[in-house]
Chain A
């Protein structure tokens, strides 16, 4: 890469150009990171940020628009829903469910998938064959169909949701980790470690795992937003965390019957959901660009 030299360009303008370019490269991290931080803070300090109990109904003030629209009330900045519940309070509390499910499900799925991937890639043989077939069978079904079927049998609850979304997503990590391990175990440094008599466990944990870590981090950042979207979709279909717990998906579902009269009921939680997912994706893209140079600019 060279920088175009224009007449009058001196070292200082070139330097500022370079700075600008550097800033642009980190822009996704800055924007995404800020947004993500805001959502996390929202979830952590939810009770302090909300003037109302998210489940408290008040029929007198039902279907009030946001404060900036005519007919809005200052005590309900984002309006109220069909039962007179405060939309702002529900959005803030809803972030807890989304982040909890996203984080815990990915931790669970990641732990299972990474462990099995390490074992299958390193030891090959029967374990690898069986897990591979299992992964094939599971991936024949769309994730949402699998989740629907299992939730149908188990019944909806926060714990079931985390278990199903977590255990159901092991394949994603398994495939990535196994593939990487297959390549890494052939490297000379692994051979050297074997030759000096390192135990297999030590080789797996000290030599192979650190080298797979960047891929795992990338997979996680790409999969957390997916899980959050799945959770929202399930809640929207009435199969997520049961009421009265507020979730973004169920808020949008509530608003569905009122699109004509009360747009804020579905538009606002949906906007926040999208912003949260976008934020994590942006951080993920930045990480991918910086952890994996091969993928840059794709």
Chain B
């Protein structure tokens, strides 16, 4: 187990190195990094002196080495717009985004778990049809449009919830629903299909034959096994949660790192985007490591050697 975690950790360091190469490459995509980092309309002489000051005229490998060395220390340079450390700007907004993503995950679990179980145990009933409909909706609903529709109904028409901001739990409800929409669809669908399959297994029939109560068979024998693919899916959902958070934060003017990143793009504030990309990658890698451990808890058959 520990050996596995160490090896996995080393591999993740490698993955993060890869991501850092990508982030480093971002400023070169435009062809001229000095021009990319400065505001539009900067005079050429100034760009030239900035190029020398930043060392963009040196060999790429040297530049990458320095970028990496500073990145390890959390230094991605200054934000052009805020005149502050870019990394600090992102990290300051990280807790708000985590809160939103966490709330979204919670909503997604609270909806998809019961719905998936009911759909699988009552195939062909109205719950089953509802589950399929919800799954389809989650797949097709554009998050930003859902956000506006929710706003229209709950904030404008009914006046139940605030239209934007981040004060109190009320302002978290609508953004969390938007973040949860896609995961609700995919998790309901997956749980429904995996539980349906598990319920046909011999050990479930044996459990029933022993005379065990319905609930016990369902929870102890069926659900535990059906949840394994769902946990795998959960790891993939983290990405969707962050992606959904970007959209939800923008629509509801929620002060998270996704909104900062989108603002940074409009301001051509590349260092902030670089920091955002690295923080997101680190976050996802960490969550995945954590889920690997959870695996062993729900399924003793999985042992990492």
Contacts and interface: CB of A to CB of B under 8 A. Distances in A.
Contacts, number: 136
Nearest to B36: A153
Which 6 interchain pairs have the tightest Cβ spacing?
Answer: A137-B18, A142-B239, A270-B145, A144-B243, A153-B29, A152-B265
B148 A266 contact: yes
A196 to B, nearest CB: 41
Given A145-B242, A236-B144, A237-B262, A259 B19 contact: no
A149 B265 CA distance: 8
Categorize the interface residue count of chain A: 35 or more
Contacts of A270: 142, 145, 148-149
B27 interface: yes
Identify the interface centre among A133, A255, A298: most chain B CB within 10 Å of its CB.
Answer: A298
The majority secondary structure among interface residues of chain B is helix
A225 B140 CA distance: 8
Interface in B18-33: 18-19, 22-23, 26-27, 29-30
Contact of B270 (A141, A153, A252, A274): A153
Nearest to B123: A297
B148 A256 contact: yes
Contacts of B14: 133
A136 B29 CA distance: 21
Interface stretch (B46-54, B72-80, B108-116, B245-253): B245-253
A152 B264 contact: yes
B131 interface: no
A278 B137 CA distance: 8
A267 interface: yes
Interface of B: 14-16, 18-19, 22-23, 26-27, 29-30, 36, 136, 139-145, 148-149, 151-152, 156, 189, 193, 239-240, 242-243, 246-247, 250-251, 261-262, 264-266, 268, 270, 273-274, 276-277, 280-281, 284-285
A140 B284 contact: yes
A249 B276 CA distance: 24
A133 B13 CA distance: 12
A143 interface: yes
Nearest to B156: A260
A256 B243 contact: no
Interface in A258-276: 259-260, 263, 266-267, 270, 273-274
18 contacts: A140-B19, A141-B22, A143-B239, A153-B26, A154-B30, A155-B30, A225-B140, A232-B142, A233-B143, A236-B144, A236-B247, A237-B262, A239-B262, A252-B142, A266-B145, A267-B149, A281-B140, A298-B193
Interface of A: 133-134, 136-137, 140-146, 148-155, 225, 229, 232-233, 236-239, 249, 252-253, 255-256, 259-260, 263, 266-267, 270, 273-274, 277-278, 281, 298
Nearest to A235: B144
Nearest to A265: B148
B168 to A, nearest CB: 22
B280 A142 contact: yes
Contacts of A148: 246, 261-262, 265, 273
A134 B18 contact: yes
A149 B26 contact: yes
Contact of B281 (A141, A253, A281): A141
Contacts of B16: 140
A201 B247 CA distance: 45
B19 A152 contact: no
Nearest to B29: A153
B142 A238 contact: no
B199 to A, nearest CB: 14
A141 B136 CA distance: 25
Given A137-B15, A270-B149, A273-B145, A149 B277 contact: yes
A140 B151 CA distance: 32
Contacts of B142: 229, 232-233, 236, 249, 252, 270, 273-274, 277
A137 B280 CA distance: 12
A249 B243 CA distance: 16
Contact of B151 (A141, A225, A259): A259
A233 B144 contact: yes
